[in-house]
Amino acid sequence: MSAMETLDHYIREELPSVIHESLPEIAPVYPYIKQTSMNVVRNQDIGRGWEVRHLYDTGIAGLMKPSNPMGMNMRGNDEYPQSHVLEDGHDVFPSAINAPHVGSIQRVLRLMKSTGNFGIPATWMQADRLNATQIEYVTRDIKGVGKMRALTEATSFFMHSGNALGQIKEVDFTLSSNKQGKFELVAGTGRTQYFRPGMCVEFFDDNSNGPDWTTKRGSLQYIVSNVDYLNGVITVADVAGGDIHDESIANDDWVVAYDHADGSNTPYQMRTWGLEDWIADSGDILQEEGTSNQGLDLDAYGQFKSLIQDVGGPLTDTVLNSYVAQFMDAYPGFSLDTFISSMGVQMKYLEQPEAYNNRMFYDRQGQALDYQGGWNDVGYTFNGKKFQWLTTPMCLSGTLYAVKFGEGNVKRYVPPRIGGSNAEVGSEIEFLVPLTGATNMFKITHTSDGASTELLEAPFWQYALVAPVDVKSVKLHGLTEADGSII
């Protein structure tokens, strides 16, 4: 087998599986998201796209009215005492003409498309086979591409509704002889865990609650050169190695994934509709940016509203009991089953039993004290219903979500593969070059003026969508985090 064929087969097998395996590692919610291609079909537009349709029943049907359980009465008269007639006012059934029927809402959800690329030196293909060093290099590179793709998807699931990685709290672009700049994020707008060395970003001006997509900050392509996860500091540099001290990046600007807007500054949705896109109490939800998809109007369909509350304090049992009860009372029969929060929210919750007299009693019974600190498991039970509690550094600071993962409510849709409708990896990744009739995935890279280079590239695209069937959830924000919590 030639070097080209070896690389081709290896990449086809490894790239999708690395993405699939990396998602639970980056975000622990993914083991509870059911992956499927059931009901995923090609859309009706020109071009190769995919969509899934959700159909909801709304309202009730028929008419009913109270009636006399004794039936109709008989009426007598002194003029004809030996005969009786039925009294007027006999029951009339409701009119079938005006009887309501059950309504329906059909939501057409388009699978999100992402494009990617990576390259290898063309000289590698001159050998009959790859040596061990080259194979190891390709293995690491493929894992890096897969983790980048998984990180983008997991970030999108948790990110701020403004489609941004976060808002800048403090910026300094005068580091290392003006070659690097650093910034921190405003709590609740993003997480340091959204960033990895090697990822590319860009900046936009602030527009009250998200980026102003018409005002891009700076003129360079920035690459993340270092991430200090303990202190929440991200360092960036010009990908070409130039000075960046004159760039107009300022506090309150927003940092987004590179090339996140098209030529007219229309933002592309970052891969999925995440928690912040379907948990809402007003406006439209599941609305795809840059398309005619108008989303689901919560003002017209109030039964899809979620409970959202700014707590402005620590999470306690009283807080949880109050808002979970309010939700359950509003939606009887609907079952939440999972809490998602940052570690800082959960640690502050653990402080509450000791927050008052702060005393502990030990019963030694004449024996040496056997003491063990820490904690084992944090759970929550409401009226006999046990919730699982997932913590992740991807979740927005000071926020707790109560959602339903059971019964496959949240699904990750991918295109169907030949031979079945269910897929562990699926055919979500497709390479461009084989569509031209080529037998492998690589092509020569060209410069902007069309000149060939000594680099082979393998462009690909991916279709996938994470979305719930039933969107109703609880969001508690403005929660106090434990001291020392990292943004």
Average pLDDT over residues 268-272: 54
Q: What is the pLDDT of residue 228?
A: 95
Confidence of residue 422 (pLDDT cuts 50, 70, 90): very low
Expressed in angstroms, the distance from the first to the final Cα of the chain is 50
Strand segments, DSSP code E, in 229-303 are: 233-238, 254-257, 284-285, 296-297
Angstrom distance (rounded) from CA 416 to CA 423? 7
Report helix, strand or coil for 104.
strand
Angstrom distance (rounded) from CA 66 to CA 120? 78
**Is 7 a residue whose pLDDT tops 60?**
yes
Q: What is the DSSP string of 65-81?
A: ----TT-PPEE--TTST
Give a yes or no: residue 175 inside a domain.
yes
Q: What is the pLDDT of residue 126?
A: 66
Q: What is the pLDDT of residue 145?
A: 81
Strand partners, 279: none
The count of C-alpha atoms lying within 13 angstroms of the C-alpha of 299, restricted to the half-sphere facing its C-beta, is: 4
Give a yes or no: residue 196 inside a domain.
yes
Quick one: which of 144, 181, 151, 201 has its CA closest to 11?
Answer: 144
For Cα atoms 110, 467, 476, give the angle at the middle one, nearest 5 degrees. Answer: 135
Strand partners, 121: 455
Give a yes or no: residue 449 inside a domain.
no
Q: Are strands 380-382 and 211-228 parallel, antiparallel or unpaired?
A: unpaired
Give a yes or no: residue 212 inside a domain.
yes
Average pLDDT over residues 201-210: 85
Q: Are strands 338-341 and 284-285 parallel, antiparallel or unpaired?
A: unpaired
Residue-wise pLDDT tens digits, 144-179: 888 888 888 888 889 887 678 999 988 887 766 778
Q: Are strands 307-313 and 474-479 parallel, antiparallel or unpaired?
A: parallel
Give a yes or no: residue 250 inside a domain.
yes
Q: What is the pLDDT of residue 320?
A: 94
Strand partners, 400: 341, 476
CA 223 to chain centre: 24
- Check residue 85 and give left, alpha or beta (phi > 0: left; psi -120 to 50: alpha): beta
**Is 234 a residue whose pLDDT tops 90?**
yes
Q: What is the pLDDT of residue 337?
A: 92
Contact 307, 324 (CB under 8 A): no
Quick one: which of 219, 206, 215 has its CA closest to 251?
Answer: 206
Q: What is the CATH number of the domain that holds 221?
A: 2.40.30
Q: Tokens 């492998």 sit at which residue? A: 440
**Is 421 a residue whose pLDDT tops 50?**
no
Range name among 78-87, 93-102, 190-199 with the lowest pLDDT average = 78-87
Give the domain extent around 224. Answer: 162-269
Calculate the average pLDDT of the chain.
81
Structure tokens at 415: 């295109």
Angstrom distances, CA of residue 397 to CA of 24, 37, 321, 323:
20, 33, 21, 19
The count of C-alpha atoms lying within 13 angstroms of the C-alpha of 40, restricted to the half-sphere facing its C-beta, is: 30
The enclosing H or E element of 317 equals helix 317-330
The enclosing H or E element of 17 equals helix 3-26
Average pLDDT over residues 57-80: 77
Q: Higher model confidence: residue 357 or residue 380?
A: 380
Give a yes or no: residue 422 inside a domain.
no
Angstrom distances, CA of residue 378 to CA of 311, 336, 343, 348:
20, 17, 11, 12
Range name among 135-149, 421-435, 455-469 with the lowest pLDDT average = 421-435
Dihedral angle of Cα 300, 302, 304, 309, to the nearest 10 degrees: 130
Structure tokens at 261: 């807007």
**Is 329 a residue whose pLDDT tops 90?**
yes
Angstrom distance (rounded) from CA 259 to CA 330? 42
CA 111 to chain centre: 13
Q: What is the pLDDT of residue 420?
A: 44
Give a yes or no: residue 178 inside a domain.
yes
Structure tokens at 204: 């936009």
Strand partners, 123: none
Structure tokens at 416: 């169907």
Average pLDDT over residues 218-237: 90
How many independent structural domains does the chain possess?
Answer: 1
* Contacts (Cβ under 8 Å, ≥6 apart) of 455: 119, 120, 121, 122, 444, 445
Q: What is the pLDDT of residue 163?
A: 76
Mark out the alpha helices in 109-211 (DSSP H runs): 132-158
Q: Higher model confidence: residue 312 or residue 240?
A: 312
Angstrom distance (rounded) from CA 334 to CA 136? 50
**Is 257 a residue whose pLDDT tops 90?**
no
Q: What is the pLDDT of residue 404?
A: 93
Give a yes or no: residue 340 inside a domain.
no
Task: Write phi, then psi, for 393 (nearest 5 degrees).
Answer: -70, 0
Q: What is the pLDDT of residue 358?
A: 59
**Is 291 a residue whose pLDDT tops 80?**
no
**Is 29 a residue whose pLDDT tops 50?**
yes
